[in-house]
Structure 1
Amino acid sequence: MILLRIPSIYQRHIARKLAQRYLLEASYTTAVTIDAIDAITHELLQRHRNKAKNNLFNVNDLSLRYFMKADNNEPKKDVTALTAEELDNLVVELFEKHKHKLLKDTITECHEKKILISENALKKLFRSSSMSGKVDTVLLLQKYSMKIDPYLFKRNGEFLHYVAKAQCMKGNSEKGLFILKQCYEKFDGLRSFYRIILRELIQDTVLNRSEASLVVFKKYMLEFSEKYKDHYPLVCFWYNCWSSTWFSDQMLADELLESSKFLQDIVKDKATAFSITILREYNDDAVLRLLQNLIKYKMMDEYVKVLQVLFAYKLRNRDLHGCTEIVRNCEALGLSLPMSQQGKYIKMLINNKEIDGKIIKPNFKLKF
């Protein structure tokens, strides 16, 4: 019995030892395998990172900043080795290609080395930079001009009007118009030129700017008119708001007319001319609004003239319905149209007696 039990006990002992050894080896093998996988994974990830880092077309670098950096890394030319014509072409080309950092560096070098950029090229840079709202570039050009060509600097009103324009185009209407107001006071001989700047700013503001900017413009246009007796900017601003298709602009035009007696007198004097001009753009709605204002301010002689202009426009476009409304309006107000216009209207009425599918029965009196 003992001989039978001993092998059994021995076998169980051996089995236990083998199991422990197996578990130990298995544990070691597993640890080694995991470490190897980690090492390989880490190496592959590192290789990917290094490859991505050295890849010029990495998606993270495909941004505007990347391309701007590429442009700005272009070597700067030695301005001392360029002819006057080559220098002019260079600075203009740098602006047109939007290489603004390189342009600033070139202007700075010209400033430090007292190298002259021609008046034509300089003014072209001023105009383009101010239209683009690049205030920093305009200020740099102004500083350059003050040192290199003081006579040109003074003769052009210190180029302050370009600083003002750049500020407005950048969206800083209050700051820009305040600078332009200073120009009006300091360089009254250049006001005719400042009017051109204001006209451009007004057109851009009515088309593209916010209502807050329009309020700022309203304040300054009234001030230019009242303080400096220069009514052109105010009239220009009113005209652009009046002819606009936006209701808020039209309301602002009415506010301007109500705020200024000077503007009322000018509109009264130029009502016919304004109507003829705006009808060339097929904007008869603006003429109708002008007629309402003429009645509001009791300008009846001007009202009749504008009404005749509008009637002629409707006749030319064979707008029978529009002509009929005008004739009825004249009857209600006790006004009369010229005999030539009445004759043309009667002829058109005879040839086409239907308006909007209804037979027209004249219930008004034509006055000859």
Structure 2
Amino acid sequence: MNKYLKGKGAQINVPNRFLKQELNTEDTNGLDEELIVGSPKTNVCYETPKKIISTNTSPDLVFNASINPYQGCEHGCVYCYARNSHEYWGFSAGLDFESKIIVKPDAPKLLEQEFLQATYRPKIIMLSGNTDCYQPLERKYKITRNLLMIFNKYRNPVSIITKNTLISRDIDLLEELARMNLVSIVLSIATLDEELRRILEPRTASASKKLKIIEELAAKNIPVGIMNAPIIPGLNHHETPLILKSASDAGAQFAGYTVVRLNGQISTIFKDWLEKTFPDRAKKVWNLIRELHEGNVNDSQFGRRMKGDGKFAEVIKKLFEINRRKYFKSKDAPKLSTDHFRKFGNYSLF
């Protein structure tokens, strides 16, 4: 399939590694039938898990508990590390990831049940640890808003990372949480180049809109920072100084970064996208990504997978650190409080 699908990040559906069979439309006579005609529409599936809080032990992450009210993500970021997780549901990490979305409508009720358990101890919980909790479907389902109501009721700290301006809808709840030092927000900004954003992460908010949201949150004294992520050598690595300056000017209090890493099926998806969108420099960008990861495009090694390794990784690190010191007083997000947590017996909001 040679056509470029506007409004989608992935341009193909790669085979699922866990399935024994795959659909192949190649014809020996050269009469190949296109597997995908036009951009696929969003299909919704529902899941009713027994628990909603996931835990991890990664030393690279600042959180060890998270909630993902949605699996898959309509934002369609071609580089997204969460794509591989969609294979566990029987789908492809490619177009399926951004068009077949799993919704967990019972998430708020399940969170409240966990808070009510006698063994629960308050801890910071991340929303969007895997996929964005403010992706377009949230406008309809309001699962994230209802989760915030539970966090607010029990006064449990929550951290959120998003690329969507829908978060402004919930400023009333975020402001209440912020008064007790129970929330911090991170806006993910990969590029200020609108033309690049439209093809790299097609259904996310523009950088200008994200900066506006930062202004709104900061004006309400809601702690907010940015992630300059992912930094992709040859595509957006030169933008770091202006991204950090723009975020600081808007009111962001802290900043972090990660470099691109193409684990699992993402390497095939990204390379296909790269060759279709930047054929003139696809090989150069690919080789620069390999340079970040000791000759590979993927890296799962704790301690280096997020920032890369080697000379180019060091260039990126120095550029970021110089500008972070220049534009930000604080290196990290504020430490949230667990001192305000409260229980209400068996009383339930849902």
TM > 0.5 fold call? no
* TM-score, reference length from structure 2: 0.31
Report the structure number with the largest CA radius of gyration: 1
* TM-score, reference length from structure 1: 0.29
Kindly indicate which of the two structures has a greater share of residues assigned to strand.
2
Task: Report 1 or 2 for greater relative contact order, CA contacts < 8 Å, sequence distance ≥ 6.
Answer: 2
